[in-house]
Amino acid sequence: MEISWRSLAVLAALAVRMTAGGTTVAELAAMDRQEAGKNVDVCVTGVVTIAFSWIGLSGVIADPFDPNGPSVYCSGRMPEVPMAAAEGCERLEPGDLLEVEGCSASLIVDPGLVARRMRKIGRIDLPPYPDREYAYLQTKDCYNRRARMTGVVRGIRHRRVNGMDGTVLSLATDGGVVPVSVHDASPSWERFIDEEVTVEGVLLPCITMAWETLYPELEAVGDNPIRLTDPGQRFRRKALAFLRFAGVVAVVPLLLVIAALFIQRRRARALARAVSADRRRIAGELHDTVAQYLSGTKILLTSVRSADADLRPELRETLTAACDMLDRTRLEVRAAINDLRSDDLLMKPLGELLCAYADRLQTMGAVRARAEVRRLSKVRSPESKRDILAIVQEASMNAIRHGGAKDIVIRADEAGGALTVEVSNDGLPFDAETAEGPEQGHYGIAGMRERAARLGGTLAFGSAAGRSTVRLSVVTLGGI
């Protein structure tokens, strides 16, 4: 707290004096109604924060070392109790240091102190009033505390209490309306109507005729307790209020975006679960119907070819080609069933799938295989991943079956809006232009080109430095 050197000297001397013992204001304020009602004899040293000289040397006292902290009502006059004896003072003033002898009591706002003797032992400068928000008035600790509050005066009324005229101003704060009591019925207070003012004083209980506490009101203290708010301070306060409001306004859209993303993610997970279940259902139907029919059809064709030894050569070749086509179709259906039963194409990124395939080739034992992937997007449709994997598998198996490859490297990179997937092997050179096609019952190259076209890309076959390559190039700016 900001106090003068004179006050510091007084407080230093007081600290030495208080080491001898006695009850502190904080200890008295901490008593409950039952404990305070035992009328325990106490000796308290406190500083006056507000004086009611018209009630016989009564007022509020606080801890001299914390005037804005715990405080209690000190009465120098109570019904059927003699007025307290005063030494060194005829009336109390804010800032007076008092040594009070008396007893604890359960007063209107318990606990309190009924004085038998008051002795003024000095004065100190009280620190600035603490700024209080309206919410502070809802706490049990607000009574008897010093406070400074800012608001707009919305109404004024006069009242008479215990034969004394006074004025009550309705101070509209940001949190609610606070009554401000002034022991002066002058009409001059009307000049503050609809003005923003700052009031300094002590929060006291407003009571009924039955001595019931209703709510706290701010008792104005001093010669100039109500002042027009400084324009600069008013501007700063309004600017701060605007910034708080702007912060709330800015946070609300952010919270809405987060909520929308959360909902979208939940929906995406639910959709993924539904799609996975549907894929498994379709896989089961393909296995139980199409795959079985294909196997049965091949058995029938093979039986015809084997049963009739006199078949013309061209018919035998046709049946053989049909059986090969059925074998290849069965393989395609089986691959489709495996893809449908697996969530890999849905959940795993392309790079992870390519590395997993290279590991499977490696475990076959016939070849060395590895995958080198860089900068691949993690967002890609299951259909596009299936076509890319099919091209890589076909290129790898062709290199092993027809080229005798022993080393296969799968490279994938995505840069500049283009995806490149290359299968390199050390097998025999391969010429795609002279390779057998569908006319001869071989559909590998044609199938690879159809998949590349479906992806919106191109296939290139080449040989260099003793290695053959199959390269898929796809422009990904539009997304695949």
d(CA 63, CA 23): 11
pLDDT in tens, 219-253: 998 888 899 987 766 566 667 767 777 777 778 78
User: Does 338 have pLDDT greater than 80?
Assistant: no
- Reading the block at residue 124, the tokens are 């100190």
CA neighbor of 55 nearest in space, from 251, 204, 215: 204
In a domain, 250, yes or no: no
CB 206 within 8 A of CB 216: yes
In a domain, 16, yes or no: yes
**What CATH number corresponds to the domain at position 208?**
2.40.50.140
Residue 209: partners with Cβ closer than 8 Å, 6 or more residues away = none
Domain membership flag for residue 306? no
What pLDDT does 83 receive? 83
Boundary of a domain, candidates 214, 229, 244: 229
Q: What is the pLDDT of residue 441?
A: 46
pLDDT at position 206? 79
Looking at the fold, whether 96 and 191 belong to one and the same domain comes out as: no
Residues 170, 97 share a domain:
no
- Same domain? For 449 and 352 the reply is yes
**Structural domain includes residue 308:** no
Q: End of a domain among 184, 205, 229?
A: 229
Based on the fold, state whether residues 52 and 138 are members of the same structural domain.
Answer: no
- Same domain for 145 and 116, yes or no, is no
Query: In this structure, is residue 247 part of a structural domain?
Result: no
Distance CA 336, CA 216 (A): 78
pLDDT at 1: 47
User: Is pLDDT above 60 for 317?
Assistant: yes
Highest-pLDDT range among 174-178, 285-289, 438-442: 174-178
The tokens of 341 are what? Answer: 């039963």
Give domain status of residue 256, yes or no. Answer: no
Domain count, the chain: 3
Question: What is the CATH number for 436?
Answer: 3.30.565.10
Are 361 and 474 members of one domain?
Answer: yes
Give pLDDT tens digits for 12-55.
Answer: 666 655 555 678 898 988 888 788 888 889 999 999 999 987 77
Q: Residue 70 domain-assigned?
A: yes
Same-domain check for residues 171 and 198: yes
Please state the rounded mean pLDDT for residues 147-160.
90
- Co-location of 119 and 214 in the same domain: no
| Domain end position, chosen among 75, 94, 123 | 123
The mean pLDDT value for 322-347 works out to: 68
- The region of weakest confidence among 308-317, 334-343, 409-418 is 334-343
> Which residue range(s) make up the domain with 397?
346-480
pLDDT for position 97? 93
Let me know whether 108 and 140 are in one domain.
no
pTM: 0.49
111 and 41 within one domain: yes
- For 171-190, what is the mean pLDDT? 88
pLDDT at 343: 60
- Higher per-residue pLDDT: 395 or 323: 395
What is the DSSP track for 353-406? HHHHHHHHHHHTSSSEEEEEEES--S---HHHHHHHHHHHHHHHHHHHHTT--S
Write down the number of H helices and E strands in the chain: 10, 17
Does some domain include residue 299? no
Same domain for 470 and 367, yes or no, is yes
- Burial string for 358-378 (b: 16+ CB within 10 Å, else e) reads beebeeeeebebebebeebee
Q: Are residues 89 and 218 in the same domain?
A: no
